[in-house]
Amino acid sequence: MKKSLKFILLAFIALFSISLASCGEHAHNFGALHEKVNPTFLTDGNIAYYECMDCHKYFDANKNEVDTIVLNKYSKEISLSVNYETKADFIVLEEDDNHISWEAKDLNLLRDDGLRIVDKKNNRIVHKFIPDTTSNITERCSIHNDVSNASISLTYTLNGLYLSVSGREELVVQFNYESKLTDMIQSESNENLYELNNVRLKKDSLLNIHFMNGVYFTMGKANSNFRSYMVDDIMYLQCLTDGIYNISFNTYGRDVFIELVEEIPHYTYYFHQYEYSGGNKEMEETQDSNEVVLRNYYLLNNQYYYVLKMNDKDTEDSAPYGVLDSDSLLLGETIDFGVTKMFKVNDNAYYDIYFNTETNEFRLVLIEEE
């Protein structure tokens, strides 16, 4: 029995000695837990920690000894992360003892994109953010409306990190793949509504509505005069009826509303060679809504030519037109037969033949002489 008690006592003494050795010759006297303090761009912070009241060594929240409790202040070299992907570096504009300001420019941002400020290792900058909700950002640091060529302004002060977003939020319409874009006008009564009124659209013409930074389009209530049309994974609307339209777009729901103001009959234009049935050719529409064309067509200098306008019922809707515009008079002449007007060319050759449906004039482009 005595041997057993002696063995237990020796084991206890050995464990106590090991504990003292690991603690540096004494049992640590932990005080209260010091709360974590986040660093700033101007001051260091600290982890949550304990300090031994006797030896003044530091321990983390789990009472593991640490070499330092210091969290180094943030580097001024920071970047903007959008939806957890780094998009741009911030440039320091100015700084003093109380504040630092940065800017990141030329960004394309979408509604609901989440913004984060990160360091060069993509670690998030933990700080009190104060988003400027009068700009294009929400209280949760997400984008309010699609914006292109955006500038992100960031200012650090003792009160927090101020964040604001500015840029172009213009909405545009693209017609028939043209590079030219037509601006829509923001409604005075509804900041989410953009409008383009009294637009002349021809049958089969295409339109696409998008922000300057890309294509974001929803069919919405475009009515029976349009149908959706996919081109290279981009949604277009195809007009089914010639007419005058009012177009509006709601950025909140991304819905398109198109109203037919006035229906206009659709015409087909046929190019004719006088007294020769084989010379009747349908002219094609061009990107210019007021012009049709017959390309690379051979004209004879001893023949008369004109165009006939046909309505939807394939009946003639006008007298023959054959007037050359002023530039084309160098290549031929207009012959006036009273009600009927025709033209002839000076030389046998291949031409591109354009007809303006508003002025009822021909424009000739010489392609190849005989």
Please provide the size of the chain in residues. 370
Give the predicted TM-score (pTM) of the model. 0.45
pLDDT tier at 123, thresholds 50, 70, 90: confident
pLDDT tens for 33-77 read: 999 998 888 889 999 999 999 999 999 999 999 999 999 988 899
Q: What is the pLDDT of residues 146-192, one digit of tens each?
A: 777 789 999 998 888 899 998 766 677 878 776 667 888 888 888 77
Question: Looking at residue 48, what DSSP letter applies?
Answer: S
Identity at 255, one-letter amino acid code: D
Tens digits of per-residue pLDDT, 266-314? Answer: 788 999 998 776 668 999 988 777 899 999 999 999 999 999 888 766 5
Q: What DSSP string describes 167-228?
A: EE--EEEEETT-S-EEEPEEPSS-TTEEEEEEEEE-TT-EEEEEETTB------B--TTEEE
Tell me the domains of the chain and their CATH numbers. Answer: 30-73 (no CATH), 79-168 (no CATH), 171-263 (2.60.40), 268-369 (2.60.40.3620)
Which contiguous run of DSSP H or E holds residue 19? helix 2-22
Q: Are strands 160-168 and 129-131 parallel, antiparallel or unpaired?
A: parallel
Instruction: Indicate the burial class of 238 (C-beta count within 10 angstroms; 0-12, 13-18, 19 or more).
Output: middle
Evaluate if residue 326 carries a pLDDT over 80.
yes
pLDDT band at 22 (very low <50, low <70, confident <90, very high): very low
The residues, any chain, with a CB within 8 Å of residue 53's CB and separated by 6 or more, are 29, 30, 31
